[in-house]
Amino acid sequence: MSLLSKFKIGQQYETQALQFLQGQGLTLVERNFRAKCGEIDLIMLENDEIIFVEVKYRSHTNFGVASESVTRAKQSKLIKTAQIWLSTNKKSAHHTYFRFDVVTITGQQQQIEWIKNALTEG
């Protein structure tokens, strides 16, 4: 599979996750924020809380569930990238709360799971 094909597939599932989250009452702030240290798929707003969302897709669970691919190294990159976004984005100045969520999409049924406060300590 080419890199472009993977990118298009990734965009498709990010759009699906975005639509799901908007259906839950969240508002899109930014999509695919990139910094040298990483990328955040979706940045959403729920009430007065900024939510950094990592979207993961798995066609099956033979090699584990999608959320397991958010390793400590990936979490570290997400945190560093979020810090950059927070420090450079004036939209965030009046929001005092933020969290990191993971939205997984699994299988042909495309089952969606929304894991709030998904990052682990330590």
pLDDT of residue 19: 96
pLDDT at 20: 96
Sign of torsion over alpha carbons 96, 19, 22, 71 = negative
10-residue mean pLDDT profile of the chain (122 residues): values are 64 91 96 94 93 82 55 86 89 77 82 86 49
- Hey, what domains does the chain have and what are their CATH numbers? 3-115 (3.40.1350.10)
At residue 89, the pLDDT reads 84
Q: Is 47 exposed, middle or buried (0-12, 13-18, 19+ CB in 10 A)?
A: exposed
